[in-house]
Amino acid sequence: MKLIVGLGNPGTEYQHTRHNIGFMVLDSLAELWGVHFATQKKLKSEILVTMHTGETIILAKPQTFMNLSGVAVQKIAQFYKIKPQDVWVISDDIDLELGTVRTRVGGSAGGHNGLQNIIDSIGADFMRLRVGIGSNRAMKIPAEAYVLQQFSTAQLAKLPEIIEKVIATITESLENKPKTTTKK
């Protein structure tokens, strides 16, 4: 059994922001697999449970807001008895070039408050799928403001390809043993 968590913030005002790339990936994956999310209030998430490659897969979009993502992840992991090693988290990464996908197990949060809250809640031994959203350096605005902005028009044009790349990484990882990689 695997728990794949897409990080983001609930609500239409955050729907297409850079911080919500995790939600966007899971929405596309659910559409591809022909399954739908349902709100599970006691798990503080939108959840779907399905089978893929002979394994039970739980997709989850925490509804706790980014900085408290660990609260929902911990509740889901406890409810379904999932070990941290079987938890995969998709998050935005401001330090990666737009479209770069980096996977690894363990490590620090790298300044990402949602990842830090998950580490604080279940430990650090989970898979991270970090998706590059580009840097805020050229815009000279705080990271907190940058991640809550909508993707630019040029970035939006690249988004389907980026999401497809993340889904391919997930699919490959479900079919094979996960390993640390960087894709550009």
Enumerate the active-site residues.
Answer: 19
Spatial strand order in the sheet of 2-6: 38-40, 45-52, 55-62, 2-6, 87-93, 127-132, 101-105, 181-183
Going by C-alpha positions, the residue among 5, 174, 8 that lies closest to residue 80 is: 5
In degrees and rounded to multiples of 5, residue 135 shows phi and psi of: -95, 155
The secondary element (H helix, E strand) that includes residue 121 is helix 113-122
In degrees and rounded to multiples of 5, residue 20 shows phi and psi of: -95, 20
Going by C-alpha positions, the residue among 159, 163, 164, 174 that lies closest to residue 127 is: 174
